[in-house]
Structures are given as structure tokens and as C-alpha cells.
Chains A and B, each alone.
Chain A
Amino acid sequence: MELLSGADMIARFLQDEGVEYIYGYPGGAALHIYDALFRQDKVKHILVRHEQAATHAADGYARAAGKPGVVLVTSGPGATNAVTGIATAYMDSIPMVVLCGQVMSHLIGDDAFQETDIVGVTRPIVKHSFSIRHPSEIPEVLKKAFYLASTGRPGPVVVDIPKDMTAPTERYEYVYPKKVKLRSYNPVTRGHTGQIKKAVELMLKAKRPVFYTGGGVVTGNASEGLTDLVQRLGFPITTTLMGIGSYPQGDRQCLGWLGMHGSYESNMAMHHADLVIAIGARFDDRVTNNTSKFCPTAKIVHVDIDPSSVSKTVRADVPIVGPAGSVINEMISLIQGKDIAHPEALTEWWEKIEGWRAERQGKLYEPSNEGEVLKPQEVVEAVYRATRGEAFVTTDVGQHQMFAAQYYKFAKPNRFITSGGLGTMGFGFPAAMGVKMSYPDDDVVCITGEGSFQMMMQELSTCKQYGVGVKIVNLNNGSLGMVRQWQDLNYKSRHAHSYMESLPDFQKLIESYGFTALRVHTKEELEPALERALADKHELVFLDVYVDPHEHVYPMQVPLGAMRDMLLSKTERT
């Protein structure tokens, strides 16, 4: 029997759980835990420069590696700084365990120094939370936290740890709990076979089917199965922003992604479909536009692991509650040896879709001419070419995010790492750090904008400390591009506070940390700069790319319209 203090139990548990990295920032209430981490060398602690970055880095790690990201912060401001990152992970169903220091138990409720009711603050943005009430509970509570974070529909779990629970003088028996059980938590492991049969019948009979798949396929590791299913049936597929890469984007059957800034052919196909097969997607408002006009002729099959996602905004005709992977596999075995009932209708459907595709071919944006200011879209295309489509790409939020999603064609899941649900500016750079640490030999590119980057740029210091070689492509248009676009469209171009008056000299800024930064103004400079940036995988390089501030993201769905109602450029609409 081994006796350990609460703090040592935490360190030991993290080792036994196989945690590689923990992102955090020390402070009074967490110091016993920090001391315990100091006295071991299996779990690597990464000291960030702001707690929000710790959560984003852990989040990026989780999205790329498919394992829970782990965060350690102190009480009060340490914990509240982490809140945006917790909410980001919650909205995108990312597994994360956040350990928060707390003031001594006897001080709780007294408004003690650095006291915040973090369990209360985070209650609406966590899958679950725990408060440690006795040091001996630590191993079991932590196991529960990891179990909850990573199973079912994943999400962040907060563990609040009063300082006296980790006191070095009090020791208790430590046993690593291999398994835990929660009587009220039994995530589904498979879908209802009867419902899956019904869905497959509809699929085989469909004349204008379309798959619409989301982040659930990525987190459920179901991309291979999905690709197989879609290719066997020969149906078109569109993904959500979160589902990008769950089906190879370059493939003919892939129509790109859908929704507010989705591709023309995706949104048209959705609108005209007679069957929508939604898997691991949640019909959110950025996808559906006006739900009362959504897919007027389609029957809807909805597969989701979370029953509360099914029929939440759009009523499903065939609801299936289950994990994407097992449901897809069951679908595959059910269609085996069967033919679709209307192959001629499917051919016609494809002709229609190819027609939509052709309509917009070559009209998506106008590339710059020699010597002219660059278009953000062509920068993303150049990044795509330079990294051969194999990079991990993280983004912040805004126009650059949409351009990255539109013009970087992802062939694999877990590669496009973006804050889809919460839309958190500041996410991209720290997320890239988290990815790069677990994939040191891959290209990790953060496509960002000068507004977003400035929200978390203090992390340059973290990158310096740990030698994190991420590549930052700053699409610098000197303004908050997406805000400006909305102001152009809805506020007669009154650009209220969407212009960045006093930008730093990014090159000097980056150089002050000892990194390389290059300024890029034109097409001719772009490719050599990218080549230079990607030359050494372990070197952080920052490209400050000046792009056209007048560019808008299109297509753009018309508010309150149907899927097919889109602005296609500044002058065209459907």
C-alpha cells in the first residue's frame, strides 16, 4: 500500500493515465500540485503565458491526437482566464480535463483572496464538474473526469481542488482506478437496429440523396467507414465546418462544406435533396439558415450520439441515437449486396450537381495580378500547395477562417482545427502549439488575421521556451475583416471599430522573440516566403501577408432564407 499526498496523487494519476502534456500556469492554490509535478519527469508541463492559451493548446492537442487535453490553473483569475477555452471545447465537444486550484476548504465562501466559485462559473459550459472534498477521493474523481471527458459526446470536465486537499503532510492510500462506473451515465454504444434498417431503406430508395456529416464523425474516428459507405452508394456528401476532412475533400463526391459560407453546390444540393443523411452533425443555425425553409423536400435521417441533438432544431424523420462509427458500419453491412432502386435518378441528380458545380467554377474570386495586393484566398491556396495538403491547419475566427476552410482541401480528419461552435478569436495560435508538440515532425500552420493573432500573441514566449516550430500565416488586412464585411452589407459600410489603427510592426515583434518573420506583399514574394517558412519543421516562422481589405467571403447565405438563398459575390445572388 502506497501513501501519497493529494498533490502527489494527482501527479501520479496523470502518469498512470498516460497523460503526455499538461498545459498550465502556477499560482498560490495550485502550488502543492506544481511541486508534485516538479518532482517527476513523465508528464511534461508546458508553461503558457495566459491561462486561456493553456485551454486552447490542450484543445488543439485533443483535436489532433484524439485524447483528452489536460489543463492546470490556479484559483480565481487563473480559473476564470480559462473559461473561454473551456467554452470553446464545450461547443465543439472536445475532450478536456481542467484541474483548478481552489482556496482552502475552510475559506470557501468567505470571498478569500483569489477565490472564485469556478464550478458555478463554468456550470453551463462543462460536461460535468467535480469538487474534491477529501484527498482520498482524488484518484477516483480524476478517473471519472477523464472517463466523462472522453466517452459518449466528449466535452470538458472541471475539477476544483481546494489547496488543503493537496497538502504534502496528509497522506492517503493511492491505487490507480482502472475503471470507474457512474450509475447515471451510460453512453450508447450502438444505434437501434430497426431505425438503422429504416434509414438504409430510405437510402436505397432515394432519388436525390445527400450526406451531411459533422464533427461527430471526426471525434468518433468514423472517417474510414464514412468514406466507404459514401463511395459504395455513390451519393454526394457535404460536411460541416467541424466535419471537414472526415471525407477527402478533393474527391468528386465531396461537394465541400455547407451553410452560411458553404459551397454553392453543397447548399443547392441540400435544398433540392429528397433525403438528407446527417451523421454526427447538429443542424446548427450556421448550417440550416432559416429552419422553416430548410430542405423543403427532404426526409431526414439523423445519427447522433447525443439524444438531445436529435430533433433539436430540425425534426428528424428517422432519428438514430448512436456513435457514428458503429451506425455507419451497420449501414454498410445492411447495404451489402443490395442495389439502389433508382440508379437513373441518381445519375440525373449528379448531372444537376455537376451543373451547379460548373456554374461557379473559376468564379469564386479574382486572383491578383502581378504586383497587385494579394487576395486572401490565393494565399490559402498557396499554403495548400506548399504543404501538399498534408499540414495541420489551425485558424482563428473570421474571414481568414472561412477562406482557410474553403481553399485548403483536407484529405484527412483531425487536420483542420478551428473553433467552429463558439467562434473564439485567439484560438488558432495556442491550438497550433498544442498540435505541434504532439506532431513535431508535421507542418502545423496557423492561418490567422492580425486581429485574432493579437488576442493570444503573448504565446510567442511559450514557443520560444519550448522551441515550438509552428508556422503563422497572418492574413493582414488591417481590419476585422468579417465584422467589416457585415458592416458593408448591413450598415452601409459604416466601419464602426473594425479598423486596426495601431498595428505593431509584426516583423520586429516576432524578431524580438528571436524568430524569423517575413513580409509578403505580392504574388511573386509569396511562394519563396512559404518555401522559406516551411524549410525547417522545428523553426517558428511568421509570414505577415498583406491582403486586400475589401475582399468578402462568398458564397454567403441570405439571412432568414433557405439553404439555396445566397449572395455569390458583391454583385450576384441566387
Chain B
Amino acid sequence: MRHIISILLENEPGALSRVVGLFAQRNYNIETLNVAPTEDATLSRLTVTTNGDDRVIEQITKHLNKLIDVVKLVDLTEGNHIERELMLVKVKALGAARDEVKRTADIFRAQVVDVTPSLYTVQITGDAGKLDAFLQAMAPVGILEVARTGVSGIARGDKVLSL
């Protein structure tokens, strides 16, 4: 099963490599990885999506918790949560396809953020499934380049991941 694990990490040099190294070293899978500073300058927030059965996920969270640089973590998929990813896509936009791309982008509530005579750059946010669906819809037109941020997420309701 797919899990989204969000980690508050000491904003120290090498901290990220410890997390990434752990996954490589123990043969765990990283599907997406997203990391950025938080409002607290001493902490980064790292979100990783991974796959595994309950036993594997239990081990992943235990080993992450063991890392000295990991201050706190939550498996967002254990509860209701909001999951978002941002994607920028360059698609061919020539002739009839030009309207088609714009229409499809509207359906997905995506925005065209840059234009040239031959292509559109489309920005879209959503969960990973929505982004995949958009790419599928664009495939016949011609996808030239894709940049995805990887999943970021937050728990719904009153639950807060903080110190």
C-alpha cells in the first residue's frame, strides 16, 4: 500500500542524506520526495511517499524515528489528509490541438502559465491521481516535458504536526 510520511527534520547539513540513505540502505522504496524549510528556521519538512505492507511501513517509521535528525513524523495515510502535488507540463499546442489543450486544462482546473507559438506550459495541482490523469489526457497531443514537485500533504482537522 502507498503511504505518505511527513517528517520534521533538523535543518542540519547532511540530515536529508540520512533519510534518503536509510531508504536505500534498507531497500525501501521512495516514490516521491519533497523537502523545504518550515516557518521554524531550525526545521525542514520532508514528505516522502513510499510503498510497502504494514510490516515494511512499521519498520520504515521506526527506523526514521531512530535517526537523530528526525524530530517528529506522521504517516498521513493513517488518517484523513489533504494531498497535493504541483506539476508543470509543456505540451505541443499546434493547430486544432491548441484549443484541445486549453479545454482539457480547464476541465482539470489547470492553468496555462506560459505560451509560445508551438506549445503551452500548463500548471496543475492536485493529488497524484489527478496529475496522472491529466498526463494521460495530454499524451495523444504530445507531452514535451514534465516537472512534478512530489507529494506534499497535511492532516485534515485539528491534528497538527509540530513540536
Contact = CB atoms under 8 A, between A and B. Distances in A.
A148 B66 CA distance: 12
Nearest to A119: B14
A148 B58 contact: no
Contacts of B70: 184
B116 interface: no
B14 A128 contact: no
B13 interface: yes
Contacts of B118: none
Interface string A356-384: 00000000000000000000000000000
Contacts of A185: 68
B131 to A, nearest CB: 33
A307 B163 contact: no
B45 to A, nearest CB: 14
B55 A311 contact: yes
Interface string B63-106: 10110111110000000000000000000000000000000000
A120 to B, nearest CB: 7
B68 A123 contact: no
Contact of B68 (A124, A182, A312): A182
A120 B72 CA distance: 23
Contact of A120 (B17, B69, B71): B17
A123 B69 CA distance: 13
A306 interface: yes
Main secondary structure of the interface of B (DSSP, over half): helix
B59 A312 contact: yes
26 contacts: A119-B14, A123-B17, A123-B21, A124-B25, A127-B68, A128-B68, A129-B14, A131-B13, A131-B14, A148-B68, A182-B68, A183-B163, A184-B10, A184-B68, A184-B69, A184-B72, A185-B68, A306-B66, A307-B62, A307-B65, A307-B66, A308-B63, A308-B65, A308-B66, A311-B55, A312-B59
A129 B68 CA distance: 9
A185 B59 CA distance: 18
Contacts of A315: 55
A185 B66 CA distance: 8
Interface of B: 10, 13-14, 17-18, 21, 25, 55, 58-59, 62-63, 65-66, 68-72, 163
Nearest to A125: B25
A308 B62 contact: yes
Nearest to B64: A308
A267 B35 CA distance: 48
A180 B63 CA distance: 23
Contacts of B71: 183-184
Contacts of A128: 68
Contacts, number: 38
Interface in A287-306: 306
Contacts of A312: 59
A311 B58 contact: yes
Given A123-B18, A183-B163, A184-B10, A308 B59 contact: yes
Given A184-B10, A307-B62, A311-B55, 14 more contacts: A123-B14, A123-B18, A124-B25, A127-B68, A128-B68, A131-B13, A182-B68, A183-B163, A185-B68, A306-B66, A307-B65, A308-B59, A308-B62, A308-B66
A127 B21 CA distance: 13
Contacts of B72: 184
Contacts of A124: 21, 25
Interface of A: 119-120, 123-124, 127-129, 131, 148, 182-185, 306-308, 311-312, 315
B24 to A, nearest CB: 9
Contacts of B14: 119-120, 123, 129, 131
Nearest to A124: B25
A251 B162 CA distance: 52
Interface centre among B55, B62, B68, by most chain A C-beta atoms within 10 angstroms, is B68
Contacts of A308: 59, 62-63, 65-66
Contacts of B163: 183
> Which A-B residue pairs are the 10 nearest by beta carbons?
A308-B62, A184-B71, A128-B68, A124-B25, A307-B62, A308-B63, A123-B21, A185-B68, A308-B66, A184-B68
A289 B65 CA distance: 28
Contacts of A131: 13-14
Contacts of B18: 123
A184 B17 CA distance: 17
A554 B66 CA distance: 38
Contacts of B10: 184
A529 B14 CA distance: 54
B5 to A, nearest CB: 15
A183 B70 CA distance: 10
A123 B163 CA distance: 26
A133 to B, nearest CB: 8
A566 B34 CA distance: 50
A124 B17 CA distance: 10
Nearest to B70: A184
A266 to B, nearest CB: 27
Contacts of B68: 127-128, 148, 182, 184-185
A119 B66 CA distance: 18
Nearest to A160: B14
B12 to A, nearest CB: 9
Contacts of A129: 14
A304 to B, nearest CB: 11
B21 to A, nearest CB: 5
B25 to A, nearest CB: 5
A128 B18 CA distance: 9
Of B18, B55, B66, B70, chain A has the most CB atoms within 10 Å of the CB of B66
A539 B73 CA distance: 55
Contacts of B63: 308
A31 to B, nearest CB: 25
A161 B13 CA distance: 15
B64 to A, nearest CB: 9
A3 B72 CA distance: 37
A407 B69 CA distance: 44
A311 to B, nearest CB: 7
A323 to B, nearest CB: 16
Nearest to A123: B21
A120 B70 CA distance: 17
Nearest to B62: A308
